[in-house]
Chain A
């Protein structure tokens, strides 16, 4: 515990800028994963316990594409599309068979997928830590705002994730597809009766959710170590986000992700050993005071 240091940081502009930037970046990456999870739950009614594995696969696909092409843009595209395809496969061949069955079945299928993917990764890429490193073309001098240092790559990450988040909000809120998806979340039978193929909608939503996880994995590959089993910690954090934000609420997920991002960035100064505990404490508080989450409907 070093709360005086945290107090010192809060009163210094340069430290505030640096930690806020870090918190925003971490929070937005988390948001990509959590929004995919919450989107899939909202529409399909399934909690994808294998979501962290899709994040991990995104990172590995990016690593492979970067090794071949040397382009970070291509790496992120490969990570996103790869995870989306994998998600599509998973939905079509595995999860679609257990719709409407109890949670135990979902859990078992996802558990099996996690086991298989972790092993596949070990077979293809080996069990050791891999790191992509920040790509050369993005190793530029950091921005300096008010004396605080914001690494160039963090700024890029924030910009990309913000664009993806805005595209998601626009796509869900303004497009015909988004309206259909929201309708299917509320009453799939009615949507089907209107002549829309809900099977396709379900598959598309799962692929989009998986793609979001893959994008987050690919984007964070340069700054985090890539290793089999890497998906579990981000999965747990995504769970915390969905509890704080409310299951099925994208806006709530954004707010919760940023809260957790700031907890992580400022907490690492003030209480480095208690960062995870603090996240759980926030979650427990929300559970007790408002069980449906910040953005969730009451009584659900």
Chain B
């Protein structure tokens, strides 16, 4: 354990306590709870993807595959009726990690550009397996019949307020864990591989193993996001594993910024608000989102937090 984890955990616990107190105090409008669950879900997706893009320098365009895998394996396990929720979550994460291990072993050796489109290609393979294996997954209709949510430890996820609290808890736990990963010697090695893979190899690091480990870790946390998503919609749909979901995750990271650890979470919040606003405003969702993205990419050339941080550092530098 590297330094700072105590502080991180303390901050996380304060945030969780504040959220729960907020809920208990009666601020539980359904739209707020709704937002909290979706924020936890997509926050996990974006935050885990940034371990690949921001920390390791692997631009994956197929991250939603693990999101979908988590959702489907969790949903299918729960529908058997023989699993408790915590056990099913752990099993679903194991399935997701296994998928990430197989795809990662094939992909992380490749150069940047191959990596981006091969991860996309494998994701589309998973998507087409999900939509064509109708007897297991229900095909394009999605996993129907709802997901049973037996209560555990006094937590009843069928209630939106409990689900929101659980989602925020999972997000905070993962945030602390991922921050540990990024700050550990392992994380330092990942950054070195990002900046100069040849040098890392000369120093004696196995670039392949480090990248693969990062890929599996990121995939597993995305799988947890998928589990939350399937709890939220009480089902699973092929669109979870469609390429647009991966695109949205990258969009969120871009909105927030890649260089700041919490950037993806800021991006997730902006993305969700923007998304709701545009959906309410117009049916030409793609046109508006695409245009905003273009302006951001070609205008700012970095995420909002990256931009603000750079500005702030420059000002601080000018004053001293």
Bound pair: A and B? yes
Q: A residues near B, CB below 8 A?
A: 41, 47, 49, 94, 97-98, 101-105, 107-109, 111-116, 118-120, 122-123, 232-233, 236, 239-240, 243, 247, 273, 276-277, 280, 283-284, 287-288, 291, 300
- Separation of A41 and B113 alpha carbons in the complex (Å): 10
| Least distance between A7 CB and chain B CB atoms (Å) | 24
A104 B250 Cβ-Cβ under 8 A = yes
Please name 11 further chain A to chain B contacts, defined as beta carbons within 8 Å, in addition to the given A112-B289, A232-B124, sorted by A numbering: A47-B117, A111-B251, A115-B289, A119-B287, A123-B287, A233-B124, A243-B114, A277-B125, A287-B110, A288-B106, A291-B109
A287 B106 Cβ-Cβ under 8 A = yes
| Least distance between B248 CB and chain A CB atoms (Å) | 9
B291 A273 Cβ-Cβ under 8 A = no
A236 B124 Cβ-Cβ under 8 A = yes
1/0 per residue B294-316: CB within 8 Å of A?
10011001000000000000000
A98 B122 Cβ-Cβ under 8 A = no
- Separation of A114 and B290 alpha carbons in the complex (Å): 8
Q: B59 an interface residue at 8 Å Cβ cutoff?
A: yes
The dominant DSSP class at the A interface is helix
Residue from A101, A116, A243, A280 in contact with B125 in the complex, judged by beta carbons closer than 8 Å: A280
Q: B271 an interface residue at 8 Å Cβ cutoff?
A: no
Given contacts A239-B117, A284-B106, contact A109 B294 (CB under 8 A): yes
Q: Which residues of A contact B247 (CB under 8 A)?
A: 111, 114-115
Q: B residues near A, CB below 8 A?
A: 53, 59, 61, 106, 109-114, 116-118, 120-122, 124-125, 128-129, 132, 243, 247, 250-251, 254, 258, 284-287, 289-291, 293-294, 297-298, 301
Q: Which residues of A contact B112 (CB under 8 A)?
A: 102-103
B61 A49 Cβ-Cβ under 8 A = yes
By Cβ-Cβ distance, the 10 closest A-B pairs, closest first, are: A115-B290, A119-B286, A116-B290, A115-B286, A119-B287, A112-B293, A112-B290, A112-B294, A103-B59, A111-B247
A107 B298 Cβ-Cβ under 8 A = no
Residue from B116, B132, B297 in contact with A112 in the complex, judged by beta carbons closer than 8 Å: B297
- Would you list 21 pairs from A and B whose C-beta atoms are within 8 A, ordered by A residue? A102-B59, A103-B113, A103-B116, A107-B61, A109-B294, A111-B247, A114-B290, A115-B290, A115-B293, A116-B286, A119-B287, A119-B290, A123-B284, A243-B121, A247-B113, A273-B132, A276-B128, A277-B125, A280-B121, A280-B122, A287-B106
- Separation of A119 and B117 alpha carbons in the complex (Å): 23
| Least distance between B239 CB and chain A CB atoms (Å) | 12
| Least distance between B274 CB and chain A CB atoms (Å) | 13
Q: Which residue of B lies closest to A104 (CB)?
A: B59
Q: Which residues of B contact A108 (CB under 8 A)?
A: 250-251, 254, 293, 297
Given contacts A104-B250, A107-B61, contact A119 B132 (CB under 8 A): no
- Separation of A233 and B297 alpha carbons in the complex (Å): 26
B250 A47 Cβ-Cβ under 8 A = no
B298 A97 Cβ-Cβ under 8 A = yes
| Least distance between A134 CB and chain B CB atoms (Å) | 27
Q: Which residues of B contact A276 (CB under 8 A)?
A: 125, 128
| Least distance between A299 CB and chain B CB atoms (Å) | 11
Q: Which residues of A contact B110 (CB under 8 A)?
A: 287, 291
A239 B121 Cβ-Cβ under 8 A = yes
Residue from B111, B118, B125, B297 in contact with A105 in the complex, judged by beta carbons closer than 8 Å: B297
Q: Which residues of A contact B287 (CB under 8 A)?
A: 115-116, 119-120, 123
Q: Which residues of B contact A112 (CB under 8 A)?
A: 289-291, 293-294, 297
Q: Which residues of B contact A41 (CB under 8 A)?
A: 113
Given contacts A47-B117, A240-B121, A276-B125, contact A119 B297 (CB under 8 A): no
Q: Which residues of A contact B121 (CB under 8 A)?
A: 236, 239-240, 243, 280, 283
Q: Which residue of A lies closest to B122 (CB)?
A: A280
| Least distance between A256 CB and chain B CB atoms (Å) | 14
- Separation of A122 and B106 alpha carbons in the complex (Å): 37
Given contacts A108-B251, A111-B251, A276-B125, contact A98 B284 (CB under 8 A): no
- Separation of A123 and B285 alpha carbons in the complex (Å): 11
- Separation of A287 and B103 alpha carbons in the complex (Å): 12
Q: Which residues of A contact B258 (CB under 8 A)?
A: 104
- Separation of A232 and B286 alpha carbons in the complex (Å): 15
Q: Which residue of A lies closest to B295 (CB)?
A: A112
Q: Which of A112, A114, A116, A277 has the most CB of B within 10 A?
A: A112
- Separation of A226 and B250 alpha carbons in the complex (Å): 28
- Separation of A49 and B118 alpha carbons in the complex (Å): 12
| Least distance between A197 CB and chain B CB atoms (Å) | 23
Given contacts A47-B113, A94-B298, A243-B114, contact A111 B128 (CB under 8 A): no
Q: Which of B114, B247, B291, B297 has the most CB of A within 10 A?
A: B297
Q: Which residues of A contact B286 (CB under 8 A)?
A: 115-116, 118-119
- Separation of A287 and B114 alpha carbons in the complex (Å): 11
| Least distance between B272 CB and chain A CB atoms (Å) | 17
- Separation of A4 and B290 alpha carbons in the complex (Å): 49
Q: Which residues of B contact A291 (CB under 8 A)?
A: 109-110
Q: Which residue of A lies closest to B58 (CB)?
A: A103
B125 A98 Cβ-Cβ under 8 A = no
